[in-house]
Amino acid sequence: MAVTWIISICLILIAATTPADPATTAAPTVPATTAEPTLELARVYFRSVQSTFTNDLLNPSSTAFINRAALTKRELEPIFQRAFPCSFKSSRVRAFRSGSVITLVDLSFVSMLIPDHVQIAYALKSSASNVTGFDIEVSSINVNGIYSSGISHNISLFTASCLVLLSWLLSSQQ
């Protein structure tokens, strides 16, 4: 009886502390305030393999840079506004690099509500096929220096402890 009770509690606690799938996690709501919210940046890199890099993309004042930056902003902002309606504020194309075309974009989020790199990468990966102005090689998506497979491999100490306890309890029943 006691073992069943402990197992039930561990399973409930594991379920309560295990993060949800980033695609289904709702953004928390924020009460209205009069002060401007503090913003944090998430730096995103991705490669467009079907695009051809030209040297004028290195110059932020060039027509090619300005046009591609506007296209990138127009394609990406709706993705992040849908995924993070309470926290996403804006995007800014910082640079283009060679290697087909590698795009560097800064995304601005309300600092208290900034999603983690897995959630940001998942939002971009899941919408990459809907981008029409350029392609996004999903395996190249890098958020804040971390290439993400879109799957979180993190496990909390509490969850690990519950699993060890559960394993010990089950093995002692034999």
User: pLDDT tens digit string along 99-128?
Assistant: 899 999 999 999 889 999 999 999 999 999
Structural domains of the chain, with CATH: 37-150 (3.30.70.960)
pTM over 0.85: no
- pLDDT tens digit string along 38-85? 999 999 999 999 999 999 999 999 999 999 999 999 999 999 999 999
Residue with tokens 């999903």: 138
Spatial separation of the C-alpha atoms in residues 94 and 57, rounded to whole Å: 11
